[in-house]
Structure 1
């Protein structure tokens, strides 16, 4: 079985597209959203997290802050999805240890390239 990736996003259609692309490339994918995300992440301890920044309730910034406080999840690489340009996201997240940024809309190959890079494969 491939590496385990958790996709955290409140857009069900977008999640389904990402899930399909990643699964067809051999990855095991779990999806979650909002407040449930932290609980799900702690249960499954993924190899990589794909995280939407702008979600109602618990947004991507809050999720990352919590991940960095959790000794079991602090080392898990995070790729951030956003409608904002990569340069702005890099500025906003600064030294938070983000493995990558994907601006929406994105090209399917960009997603796969970022995932491979973050997983070191």
Structure 2
């Protein structure tokens, strides 16, 4: 089984010491950094960053999706990590106005605890 790195969950500039976890807003690709980002924006950005280690679409260096026979090439590492699993559950669309719709992605996070197992640092 593989271990997730600090960067794979919190972005490339994440650091930690004994007291603090520092997350660079600019390392969260779905967030537009500002002085007053709302808590929900930050949480969603962290979840989407973390989700990218579990599932996603394979893209070129220019961020273009790779299609094969009309299907986008994707990956699913959700079963690779021993004690944590994240995946998108049944995306759906909801109306935001009479003519516009938004895609709603439900992200499921599962943490597995094993009795008698001591988690390593």
Whether TM-score is above 0.5 comes out as: no
Larger strand fraction of residues? 2
Q: State the structure with bigger RCO (CA 8 A, min sep 6), 1 or 2.
A: 1
TM-score when normalising by structure 2: 0.28
TM-score when normalising by structure 1: 0.28
Q: Larger C-alpha radius of gyration, 1 or 2?
A: 2
